[in-house]
Structure 1
Amino acid sequence: MKKFFYLMMAFAVTASTLTSCEDVPSPYDNPNNKKQEVTPSQANGSGTEADPYNVAALNAHLKSLKADSATAETFVKGKVVAIKELQTNSFGNATYYISDDGTTTGQLYIYRSLDLDNKKFTDANAIKVGDEVVIRGQFVNYRGNTPETVPNKSYLYSINGNKQHGTTPTTPTTKVGEGTEASPYNVATMVAHLTSLKADSATAEMFVKGKIVSIKELQTSGFGNATYYISDDGTATGQLYIYRSLDLDNKKFTGANAIKVGDEVVIRGQFVNYRGNTPETVPNKSYLYSINGKKQHDSNPTPNPPAQAGEAVVINGNTLTLNNTTATAGTETLTVDLNAIGITDASDLSNIALSDGSVLSFSANGQTNVPKFFAKSKGIRVYANNSFTIKGKKAIAKIVITCDVYQGTNYTGNSTATVSFTGNNATYTNTLVGATKGGVQLRLQTITITYAQ
């Protein structure tokens, strides 16, 4: 019996010794499953544009929510940890991870999110690991265990302090003005005011002053309105969307050159924070109050130089003019910015419906290279012996095309190109004599159609 007692005591001491050894870390390991203990980031921020959540705060907030219940629009700031996928075609979205310190600790899943300005990604290098980003959109605790963005309901609000790629951070423009005729808002003040409003709630009549950044569309027929962007300094930083706005005196536009990039304008009308993320004018509820300090257009603008008699294809710098030598030009025009009508990057082209009912179509014309839109050159490339046709709503007198310039080359097509006008149709062929490849591409960026009388 005594031997049995001593045997049991020996087993107990051995077990105690083994258990104690497990509690003592070896010199090269630690008790946390070989992971170093880290101090989590301190949660801060309120999730607004002015005060975004940090990743720790948003993760904590999402984990407190019911599974799969989406938040309202929220802002979060962090550093890109890893990029899982970035599409520059089709959906044009990206999937990646962000965290407060750029490591995988406490990261947040940015799932199927768009680029700046809530647009599709067109550049595979638009974001990179280490970039500091602000994401704007809706978030969810997916299935109760994965904080992430709601797919296709978020976008890159800023990157490294910028709201556009490849720029140096700038100090925001000082907010000035009262929104009145005597003291118009500047663009920064108007944008700030609109973003503070409830989504889709229109303002009373207001005035805003700025410089034209780019012109998306100007119609001199039909509705006779224009869509363009203005900002305080004439750059794309902090711009305001002037959507379907009329000319001076609240009248329709009749001149295709009534406004141009760089003009200083005052816009009068109603404004809205469209869908809570796009400050803009209420369509057809605003107009050009003044331009370059005047309430009327210059009576003697510099005319376009006339084409030489009988010359159908005229190249002048980076401008290509196609003349219908049998037609008399009227006053009705349509201007189209091909970079601003939503064409998918690197896509083959067929028919593009224009705003006045005309149709722009492209053809490879039996060639291997086919016409394509490229965002980098802000337009459509027409290769050797390719063609395009404008099926006008009425007879066309003239087509003026602004073309891409790259490394000193004006991409205005071959000097042997031809154009034919038949009925309401105009067909251009980038003819290259004696070859099927090479020559000069035609890279169309904007097209202004002048209809016949």
Structure 2
Amino acid sequence: MKKLVYSAIALAVSVLSLTSCEDVPAPYTLPTASENTEIKVAPKGSGTAEDPFNVVALDSLMDNEFDANATYYVKGVVSQVGTFNESFGNITYYIKDEEASTTFYVYRGLGLGGANFTSESDIAIGDSVVVAGNVTIYNGTKEFVTNKSHIVYLNGKTASNSGTSTAEPTGTGTETDPYNVAAVLKLYENNSYDSNKEVYVKGIVAKVGSIDTVNYGNATYYISDDGTSTNDFEIYHGFYLNGEKFTSKSQLKKGQTVVVCGKLTLYNTTKEMDKESKLISIEGEGTSTESGSEAAGQITTSSFNLTDAAEWGTQTLTDGTKIIAEAGTGSNSPKFYIAGSGTLRVYPGNTLTFEATKNIKSITILCDSYNGINYTAQGMATASVGTIALNELTYTISDINSNKVVLTNSNTNTGGKSQLRILSFVINYAN
């Protein structure tokens, strides 16, 4: 472990040099001189559930060698609360050792036992927590991986007394004896799964991430043994029953019991069933899908399977509608980035054209929020046809009555705040 020496100069430099997962500065101010008292905290813990690291120990570990696939546990107090993402139920925040200076970044972490947060008030500065998850270093920032951490202890409340999954591994992975989710996750712990072999897994749908009924007909969803987001398992871009395409968002709902067949894989640090899996059975009524009501032409930007940092260019939907992203008067071309939930970045001066085979009635665009910044180009997007309005993270272009509309990022500033970062579109046709 490195020797920890803190001084006023070092602390100021560390705050100035802290970067986030994105290309924007962290939204906090420098400490005052009275806060720059030298603090020395000894590293403690082994990083397990029984003996969590303190923040200094985890920070020091990452200066040497760490396992990106391992789940580390760290104990600390919440020192700053950032963005609450309502769409995905996560919060970005920082933790530190009590009265110490070193902080650790929890990027888009989940709540107690892996459940979604319901509001930014679910955690507060000064809360005592134990956080578990995968860690990484992104552009120099030591942090927990997006949506791959959760709180296991919050002010005396633990995952074990809040109804989290305690299922024992069962099943052999066959059609007649499918794995439960606990058994699948155990395979990853032991690195004993065969990525070339199809297996059967049974679980309860804990969350429906997205259902693409327009372009590829696949869905990304999460299953667990108890129907909560605790110890859930991602089914990435899977197909419907018998391998058919999804045609309606009502075909899969939270709370339904499913058996799914596919190959297991590890994408970066994400344990998941690889694309092109298929549902074998669906039981139960479930509840309404989290991705919203049925709408004509609902598309997530991640459904086009673009590689990271790829130029968007022209993407054509199965109904013939084209979504064309061009540089316009900007110096950078619009690009898709996988980071976070996957977004199309439209920079100042860029244009986004929707060109359909029939008249468009309205377009709804959901933008991303990160670290306290809403990436809506600060409300300076303009539409060539119709009326455009911004409500928090959602742009609505209404009264279009045309088969073509051009959206322009008319912001003339530079930097992250001037970007549009688009998560999804909903296109409603007039006929």
Calculate the TM-score normalised by the size of structure 1: 0.47
TM-score normalized by the length of structure 2: 0.49
- Max Rg structure: 1
